[in-house]
Amino acid sequence: MNQALTRHASHRMQQRNIPPVVIDWLIGYGASEYDHRGGEIRYFDKRARRHLNSEIGGQVVRRLEEFLDTYLVLGSDGHVVTVGHRTQRINRH
């Protein structure tokens, strides 16, 4: 994993059992929305899932499909601030 994590994000990854490869996928393929607090939310929308599937391969993506509802928040300094599982839609405005 090449992305710098805050201590908080590292703890949340452990607590929520999110593998580091999913963080890399979110950074590389995830859709992004600004959170209006100076951060950026990364998540997998339909387009990002298709792109990930074509780049990584369907078999690998299917094995980790349970983690495709994961999101992360990037701070203004580029560090991953927190990670979690999406239970609601991401507001896009």
Q: Using one digit for the tens of pLDDT, what is the confidence trace for 27-43?
A: 999 999 998 888 999 99
Higher pLDDT, 2 or 27: 27
Q: CA gyration radius for the chain?
A: 13
Reported pTM: 0.82
Longest CA span, the chain: 37
Alpha-carbon distance 54 to 10, whole Å? 29
